[in-house]
Amino acid sequence: MGAQWKARPKEIAANAKGKIFGKLVKEIMIAARNGADPDMNPKLRLAVYQAKKASMPKDTLERAIKKGAGLSGEVVNYERTLYEGFAPHRVPVIVECLTDNINRTVAEIRVLFRKGQLGTSGSVSWDFDHLGMIEAAAENGADPELAAIEAGAQDFEPAEEGATLFYTDPTDLDAVCKALPEFGFTVQSANLGYKAKNPVSLSGSELEEVEAFLEALDNHDDVQNVYVGLSV
């Protein structure tokens, strides 16, 4: 791990798709503040890509763009907030939220951190790199090392299901996304995130305890992403 935490595969709950769409809609609305045209707005282009990959209905996608861009007459006031602290066994965690009520969110996040320790700003982020993260699948045996060099990525590592995770400077995320297909890779997801510099190694019951803590965080409606310094 050490980058974005993902729950282990399990039976898909009836509302799982709705939760995914809810998170994506927030990202689209935030990105659309800088313009409703994905061709002219790199952040919106990435958010739209993620939504299409998740099979979001076209009308839901278009409605989110209009809301975010202020074209629907509705006022949207989501704010992005970060919370830092430790999961059980001193595992460092960064939690990224989008909320329309910061007071409510911080109170609820504080409750979720009772089995760990909620820290102050900067308490663990110093031990993470802020990077662009692109998950992409190789076509016809494409070489990830060559693709990383030619597309301008900083580094790469194996990802789930045979994919490759490319790391970029935050300002290069969109450019690398556009370049990777030229070198035989299909982009599956792309976002800015945090990668731990010194992940903690756990196993057995300690790992299960940390994963239960992380899953509770991830299930909160305002939580967009959970980044954890954990090596398994």
Q: Are 152 and 179 contained in the same domain?
A: yes
d(CA 200, CA 171): 28
Residues 192 and 96 reside in one and the same domain: no
Same domain assignment for residues 107 and 97: yes
Q: Is the pLDDT of residue 101 over 50?
A: yes
Q: Could you give the dihedral angle defined by the CA atoms of residues 52, 136, 211 and 89, in that order, rounded to the nearest 10 degrees?
A: -130
Domain containing 216 equals: 79-126+197-231
Same domain assignment for residues 61 and 141: no
Give the CA distances from residue 80 to residues 27, 90, 101, 115, 202, in Å, rounded to whole numbers and listed in that order.
10, 25, 11, 24, 30
Residue 229 — φ and ψ, nearest 5°?
-90, 75
For residues 199 and 213, give the distance between their C-alpha atoms in angstroms, rounded to a whole number: 17
Residue-level pLDDT at 173: 92
Name which of 46-60, 110-124, 139-153 the model is least confident about.
46-60
Q: Is residue 223 part of a domain?
A: yes
Q: HSE of 210 in the Cβ direction (CA atoms, 13 Å)?
A: 27
How many folded domains does the chain comprise? 3
Q: Is residue 74 part of a domain?
A: no
Q: Across the chain, what does the average pLDDT equal?
A: 88
Q: Identify whether 3 is part of a domain.
A: no
- Any domain includes 2: no
Residues 21 and 58 in one domain: yes
CATH number of the domain residue 109 falls in: 3.30.70.980
pLDDT digits (tens, 9 = 90+) for 145-177: 999 999 999 999 998 888 999 999 999 998 999
The count of other CB atoms within 10 Å of the CB of residue 178 is 13
- 191 and 201 belong to one structural domain: no
Average pLDDT over residues 88-105: 94
pLDDT at position 168: 96
Least confident interval from 38-47, 81-90, 91-100, 127-136: 38-47
114 and 152 fall within a common domain: no
Q: What is the pLDDT, as a whole number, of residue 144?
A: 94
Angle at 156 between CA 132 and CA 136, to 5 degrees: 75
Decide if pLDDT at 22 tops 80. yes
- Cβ of 169: how many Cβ atoms within 10 Å? 14
Q: What is the pLDDT of residues 180-208, one digit of tens each?
A: 999 999 988 888 899 999 999 999 999 99
Q: How high is the pLDDT of residue 18?
A: 73
Q: What is the pLDDT of residue 11?
A: 41
- 104 and 137 in a single domain? The answer is no
**168 and 210 in one domain?**
no
Dihedrals φ, ψ of 38, to 5°?
-60, -30
Query: Most confidently modeled of 16-20, 66-70, 143-147?
Result: 143-147
Q: Is residue 62 part of a domain?
A: yes
185 by DSSP, 3-state: which?
strand
Instruction: Give the CATH number of the domain where residue 28 resides.
Output: 1.10.10.200
Which among 126, 133, 113, 156 is positioned nearest to 46, based on CA atoms? 133
* Ordered strands of the 164-168 beta sheet: 155-158, 164-168, 128-138, 185-196
Residues 20 and 133 in one domain: no
> Rounded to whole angstroms, how far apart are CA atoms 78 and 75?
10
CA-nearest of 132, 87, 95, 81 to 113 is: 87
